[in-house]
C-alpha cells in the first residue's frame, strides 16, 4: 500500500542508493562472490569470515510497505546492533537494497520473531 505520496521510498541519497520512508538509509546490493585464496580455492575462513559474508534478508510485501511499518522496523533493528548487514527486498518493485552500516544487526531468535511479527511469517532469513 503506497499511500497518497506514491511508493514508500522518498528520493534522496546518491546514485545507486535509496532512502525508504521511515529514514532507513540503503544502497543497492550485488551478489557476494567467494574470495579466492592464494592457492586459487575459495577462502573458507573462520567463523568471523563466514559471519562477514552472512546477511539478514528481510522481505517487505506490498501490503506492509508504508512509513509506519518501516519506522517500526528501523526501531527494531536499532535494538539489535551487531555485525551483519540487513538487506531489504521490496516485493512491490522487485528491488533489493542493503541498509547502511548504522542498521547492522546481531541476528537472534528475538530479532527474527520481531521482524516476522511486524512483516509476516517467513519474512526474515539469515543467509
What is the pTM (predicted TM-score) of this model?
0.64
DSSP output for the chain: ---TTSSSEES-SSTTEEEETTT--EEE-----PPB-TTSSB----HHHHHHH-EEEEEE-GGG-SHHHHHHHHHHHHTSEEEEEEEEEETTTTEEEEEPGGG-E---HHHHHHHHHHH-TT-EEE-
Every domain of the chain and the residues it spans? 49-127
Q: What is the pLDDT of residues 56-99, one digit of tens each?
A: 999 999 999 999 999 999 999 999 999 999 999 999 999 999 99
Amino acid at each position: 500500500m503506497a499511500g497518497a505520496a506514491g511508493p514508500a521510498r522518498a528520493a534522496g541519497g546518491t546514485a545507486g542508493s535509496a532512502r525508504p520512508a521511515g529514514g532507513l538509509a540503503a544502497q543497492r546490493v550485488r551478489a557476494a562472490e567467494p574470495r579466492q585464496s592464494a592457492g586459487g580455492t575459495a577462502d573458507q575462513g573462520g567463523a568471523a569470515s563466514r559471519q562477514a559474508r552472512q546477511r539478514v534478508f528481510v522481505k517487505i510485501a506490498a501490503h506492509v510497505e508504508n512509513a509506519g511499518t518501516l519506522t517500526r522496523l528501523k526501531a527494531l533493528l536499532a535494538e539489535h546492533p551487531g555485525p551483519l548487514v540487513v538487506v531489504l527486498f521490496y516485493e512491490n518493485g522487485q528491488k533489493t537494497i542493503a541498509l547502511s552500516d548504522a542498521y547492522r544487526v546481531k541476528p537472534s531468535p528475538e530479532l527474527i520473531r520481531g521482524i516476522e511479527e511486524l512483516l509476516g511469517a517467513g519474512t526474515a532469513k539469515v543467509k
